[in-house]
Structure 1
Amino acid sequence: MTVEWETTTAGEAGFAENFERKFDAGLESGLLRDFHAVAFSRNGKLVSEHYFEGRDEAWGEDLGHMVFGPDTLHDLRSVTKSITSLLYGIALEQGLVPELDRPVVDGFPEYPDLVADSDRRKVTVEHTFNMAMGMEWDESLPYTDARNSEIMMEQAPDRYRFILDRPIIEPPGQRWIYSGGAVALIGALITRGTGQSLTDFARANLFEPLGIDAFFWCAGADGEESAASGLRLTTRGLLRIGDMLANGGAFGGRQVVPQSWIDACLTPAIQTSFDTGYSRLWYLETAYAPAFEGTRPWAGGFGNGGQRLWFSPSTGIAAVAYLGKYNDWSSWIMPTRFWHEMVMRNFERA
């Protein structure tokens, strides 16, 4: 699959040349390593992309040694969560899914005992989006550990009862607790409200409008597509999503994602345990950008293994990194270095 891009401007071409020099030096010195692919754009124009080779996985299945290129699908892992957020925003504008102030349990009437629980009714869709449900959930253990809550969910006879029946440990809205289960609920609200699979709804409402025709959504043993971690996209496909978001949700004369939804995603709702802002399944921070007179805000989707999507509307910049360092505690270092040092600190003013 090839996503077409506009030609870079002379200024962006000059930056690209400067970037290539620094990026090559980083690779040679070892300050940059372990990448499968990186790419970034500015104002709808592809500035640079690089592809490498190495071992990879498809949702835990070993693919062996891969030579990566523009048409290679990569696991997004938890960047999937951020894409699921966009799908909900689209479905909400179409009137197909519950408003965010509704109890999330109302979307699951097959569990009348849980629907009738007054404490569980306090957990809204918005709390679920912000991972502030106040319920017990632990994904701090490796995903190879059967005690990890997401793995327990995947192995449960009924994933949605498993999630909604977790012990309540505090009032909702008080604390961010990372939870793939929360996103599984969001995904179910989308499929139930639209009457379509995540694959079909995403194809018609997000991917086709952006010219993306290569993707795959992995499903669990029960056939449920993983709204939290199952999406696979090419480098250019994911970058096109970031490029659209940096442009306020518009692409090709069409408003693909509502501007109001993006604005809410960019407004911090809660702090994460590692001190970034968070809203509607997006991480929020700032980066020093000398060309733009100081720091500029950005939003990011973060995935296990160093998978990343960033976008910064005030600069028009979007970027993607795939590493595939799954279950490696240090996987955050290289993409962070790429985004902050190689991209945001080097762009020239258009």
Structure 2
Amino acid sequence: MSLQRSALASALLLTLCASPLAALASTLAPPRAEQVPGVYHQRIGDLQVTALFDGVVALARRELVGVDPAIVTRALQDRYVPESPKGLQTAVNAFLIREGDHLTLVDAGTAQCFGPGLGQVLANLRAAGVDPADVDDVLLTHAHPDHLCGIVDAHGAIAYPNATVWLSRADADYWLDPASESTAPQGVRFAFALARSAAAPYQAGNRLRTFAPGDALPGHAVALDTHGHTPGHVSFRFDSQGQSLLVWGDVLHYHAVQFAHPDASFEADSDRRAAIHSRTAMLAQATQGRWWVAGAHLPFPGLGHVRSEGEAYAWVPAEYSPL
């Protein structure tokens, strides 16, 4: 009997020892190679603004034109912008604005238009606790794929089944017209079919609306004419309780360079002179008005302010703050 008791005690001891070891092994397991959800909330007046991360895209240095390459190199020095052989890492962001029960999404990300690593807006919207069916309106700053394609899902179906999509008349007339494609620069011709495909189900349901700057828009949005990057590029201002939020779309792409050198242009700008004018106007107004700024291609969450720095400007990222 004593031998049996001894064997039983040994087995029990091994079991007790094994449990902590198993727990320790579990804690030392390799972490999942995933980032946290790309969601950030900011209260501005009575507005709850939610930044939604779509992913990153690489923009080549050579696509930054109108400025001496040596100036670009100096501007990027010590800024630690991740760079690969494909180019400088550039975020793609969308923004959800909640005012009371009304939900307005500004821009919709890329969906499947730019391949893996992008197209995360819908998933991050759900991670923020919002059903896409609850979005009332989608305001598009312009019709490029990284802003428009996300109005449909990975299967080409309507992503926001109860929303009306709003696109400036000038961009709709250009990007949704097949006749424009043949005269467009070769490098942007691919975007026409993508724009038409994404817009088609909303057009079929009579839920695509066009507008001009100054027209009344849902969610108390004010459309500002910031054309240049595209013929009908607009930015949206939302005002609440004495504060203003400017969602400026593609007014700026290379944050490490273009705040300090607003005259530097992106090669894809349809009218570089107009794009520079729009950029300098928005930088000045945002600085003077102490507006909040939400930028599609600023490092996530892309929320903050602009301050003057000498004769140019600098970006001031938002401080983390609880709601």
TM-score (norm 2): 0.29
Of structures 1 and 2, the one scoring higher in RCO (CA 8 A, sep 6+) is 1
Whichever of the two has the greater Rg, that structure is 2
Higher strand share: 2
TM-score (norm 1): 0.28
